[in-house]
Amino acid sequence: MSSEEKREKLFGEFPPVTTGQWEAKIREDLKGADYETNLIWRTVDGIIARPYYRGKDIEKFPFTDSLPGEYPFIRGSRTRNNDWEIIQEIIVKSFRDANQKALSLLEKGVASPRFILAKKLPGNINQLEELVRDIDLQNIPVQFSLPVNDHSLLTLLFELAQKKGIDPIKIKGSIDLDPFGQLFRTGSFHENLEKDLEVVKNAMVFGITHLPSLRILAVTPVIFHQAGATISQELGFALATGAEYMSMLTELGLNPGQIASRISFHFSTGSEYFPEVAKLRAARLLWAVITDSFTTGKSDPCNMRIDSSTSSWNQTVLDPYNNLLRGTTQAMSAILGGADSLMVLPFDYSTEKSGEFSERLARNIQLILREEAYFKKVADPGAGSYYIENLTDKISENAWKIFLNIENEGGILSAFGKGFVQDMIEKTAQVKRDRIEQKKDKIVGINYHPDPGEKREGNSIIPDDEIPRTAKAIGKPLRKSRSVKEFEERMINSGQSGEILAED
């Protein structure tokens, strides 16, 4: 007897249960309590989640039969497992010190160091050699986050490969040019749109020719997330940004397939556990649709590269060890959603006092999930889940509507210049803060079970980013913030323990 026949025989012993019977049993168990209030969940995005789903609820979805590695890549590109790259940032103040830290992190489980070159950019091959000394560039993908629109690092990488006898084709990682991200953060381009895109074009041409496995361009929806955007907004704006890069660089003469294969998306993963899993699945689905309209054939360029990090939006300064739990659930969402790489923020990231202890705990969250919880074993474990497939569909639908609205405004740059993007995010961020004030959303340690005996050195909270608007600004900058900052300030400044503010 085949396994399918055994299955039919087993379940044939149980009579089928109709949706009506389920509903009747639920209402009986509620004993008069309101069904909508108690069992229907509504997100800030407007998504309505029911208390249960059945097989018929996913029958109409066209993507559920696709396999990992197949278009539209909703299930990711990994076909045999779900192993991702563990990332940790290194702020470069000294090339030698940054190199020593990178080597140490590689021994401790990090797969890909990300050098934040905010203050120091290698000016010659000797400085770059010092930064990456003893790092196997043929097997270890190194990411470089640049503060300027400058592709000289590409030239230095190619020269270093020639000097060291390294095959340039095998050098992976990224240099993360992102002039649009600069605009969203500061309200201004580095120079102007034309000059900034010309730098990106030249970097692309050089990379395609000499370093074909290196990613050149970054799309950073983490900026929208940190300002308070919903999941659908974050995704819709990300798609609009990627599409605008594709369109403008194609107009400059670049091959759209080569552009798409050199873009990475940097998402932030928040605390809505299952929606965040669905967000990354929806992101790959919609990006495949967009890139397929530029390219010929449903091929690898349609596959979105996702670099994810846990969120600072819901991190707390008070009772900060709760951030370890937030970081863990957020990491789980990113991994189950199929992120290609992940960075877990230290629990004290929002205090700007992170050190070796908190970085180690953040790193070990990923190591435990990978080595002890076996999260790397199964590609897209959420596939076929009635709930996750429905969330994926609804988030896709919402994000696509936002994407089309942005396109109707003339594209993401035009929409940003008009304040369309900023207004949407500011309204959403305020709704999120109001929900915390009203305790519709519970933040443990702040508006729910606060620590009445907590003592802090000083009474200040790290301020939100305030970017002054320059003369050449074309739009209002998006402000990085935290959802509970104002709440925490009142708790500290009032001199109260927090019991009254968080009283149930």
Write the CATH number for 205. Answer: 3.20.20.240
According to DSSP, residue 44 is labeled: T
Residue in 87, 157, 136, 151 with CA at minimum distance from that of residue 115? 87
Number of domains in the chain: 1
Q: What is the pLDDT of residue 498?
A: 44
According to DSSP, residue 218 is labeled: E
According to DSSP, residue 404 is labeled: H
Q: What is the pLDDT of residue 220?
A: 97
| Residue 174, C-beta contacts closer than 8 angstroms, at least 6 positions apart | 141, 143, 144, 214, 215, 216, 218, 264
Q: What is the pLDDT of residue 15?
A: 80
The verdict on residue 495 lying in a domain is no
Q: What is the pLDDT of residue 503?
A: 41
Residue type, 53: Y
The verdict on residue 18 lying in a domain is no
d(CA 278, CA 282) in angstroms, rounded, equals 6
The verdict on residue 473 lying in a domain is no
Residue type, 486: E
Return the residue matching tokens 């489980």: 109
d(CA 358, CA 362) in angstroms, rounded, equals 6
How many Cα neighbours within 13 Å face the side chain of 13?
A: 5
Q: Torsion over CA of 469, 475, 480 and 484, rounded to 10 degrees?
A: 100
The residues of the chain scoring below 70 in pLDDT are 1-11, 297-299, 455-471, 495-504
The verdict on residue 32 lying in a domain is no
Longest CA–CA separation in the chain, Å = 77
Please say whether the beta carbons of 323 and 316 come within 8 A: yes
Residue 152 belongs to domain spanning: 85-400
Please say whether the beta carbons of 237 and 402 come within 8 A: yes
State yes or no: cis peptide before 452, omega within 30 of 0.
Answer: no
Length of the chain: 504
The verdict on residue 494 lying in a domain is no
The verdict on residue 62 lying in a domain is no
Q: What is the pLDDT of residue 453?
A: 74
The verdict on residue 209 lying in a domain is yes
d(CA 198, CA 151) in angstroms, rounded, equals 11
d(CA 314, CA 216) in angstroms, rounded, equals 30
The verdict on residue 268 lying in a domain is yes
